[in-house]
Structure 1
Amino acid sequence: MMKAPKRILLGVAGGIAAYKAADLCSKLAQAGHHVQVVMTAGASEFIGETTMAALSGRPVATQSFDSRYPLGAHIELAVDLDAMVIAPATASVLARLAHGQADDLLSTLYLQNTAPVLLAPAMSDPMWNQPSVQRNIDILRADGCQFVGPEKGWLSCRVQGVGRMSEPTKIVDEIHTLLSATTKRS
């Protein structure tokens, strides 16, 4: 566990693995970290904002235009972050990040953010193995993003394969490793 609480932005994208984000959020909050959850519209189809707000102890941000943030949610939520974590990181989110497409709060925050980034991909095996997805992974790695997973195992599409989001305990360990490095992205 880290010695001092850190400011962690937890991005949750729209995939079935979003249910694991609740456990991840809880574990980070229990470790004493300040967790700010940002959910995509798709994430809200899988897990409720109320759940994430209760676990983080903070209102969940979902919209780029939110009167709670007069300077802009993407500006205010990125201030003094120690890490940005996206779990699950879907193929769609990975593509938007890799290509600088800022069309929602999460992707806009990524562009504003200067803290280290940890991505926990989750998708079907065929999606994970698409050349376009692998190119996006290569771009994001070259941009300095760190990855945890995906793992091989039972997928929600009822098959075995690679694409399963890493378990929250493994992600927490990777977050603490990332925080130990304390480098800013440029």
Structure 2
Amino acid sequence: MGKHILLAVTGSISAYKSADIANELTKKGYTVDVLMSKSSLEFITPLTLQSLTKRRVHTGVMDEPNPSKINHIELTKPADLFLVAPATANIIGKLANGIADDLISTLALALPSDRAKLIAPAMNTNMYDHPIVQRNLQTLKEIGYKEIQPRESLLACGDFGSGALATADTIIEKVVNTLEGEEA
């Protein structure tokens, strides 16, 4: 396959599911570079994702492992697909409004516009349905992001409704279909 995926993990309780996503995509032969927001580190460790992908996990915009290269620029060059899973309301807002104050949002702005971009929201139903979040998702769609719809489920907060991260299988299927040209 030889395709390269940037998996951005943000601070949602569903961040633990990123391990399954990274693991399965790696098993399918994709190269998976993981980017983690500061808040995602409260839910899952970089070591877990590094062990599954066999790749260094990136956690900070100022973390520059190679002094001769700018990390958030270099990471975009081989990328065929940028996947944000889970995507919090915070990162959705940052991406839709061009705010670049962490690794994920900075890298997203540096990503060439012709790269495939998928976003899998995960949050409370009221947050997901909020007009600002919906407007931000619409803005992202207008600039080339495809949304992987959240599920309706019992949420971590105890509410029932839309906002649960799509299943790992659904996300993986969408990634594979996008990379293999099976989606318009």
TM-score by length of 1: 0.93
2:64 aligns with: 67
CA displacement, residues 152-181 of structure 1 (integer Å, 9 cap, x when unaligned): 111111121100000111101100121133
CA displacement, residues 63-86 of structure 1 (integer Å, 9 cap, x when unaligned): 111231432211111112110001
Gaps of 5+ in 1: none
Secondary structure, counterpart of 2:13 in structure 1: coil
2:104 aligns with: 106
Superposition CA RMSD, Å: 1.4
Gaps of 5+ in 2: none
Task: Assess if the C-alpha contact under 8 Å between 1:66 and 1:72 holds in 2.
Answer: no
2:81 aligns with: 83
Q: Percent identity?
A: 38
2:46 aligns with: 49
2:145 aligns with: 145
Q: Distance in 2 between matches of 1:48 and 1:148?
A: 24
* Off by >6 Å, runs of 4+ in structure 1: none
Instruction: Name which of 6, 9, 12 aligns with 2:9.
Output: 12
Deviates more, 1:58-67 or 1:16-25: 58-67
Query: Which amino acid is 2:153 matched to?
Result: G
Structure 1 residues 135 and 69: alpha-carbon distance in aligned structure 2, compared to 1, 3 A threshold: farther
1:175 aligns with: 175
TM-score by length of 2: 0.94
Q: How many residue pairs end up in the alignment?
A: 180
Query: Which amino acid is 1:64 matched to?
Result: V
Query: Which amino acid is 2:5 matched to?
Result: I
Task: Assess if the C-alpha contact under 8 Å between 1:73 and 1:105 holds in 2.
Answer: no
1:92 aligns with: 90
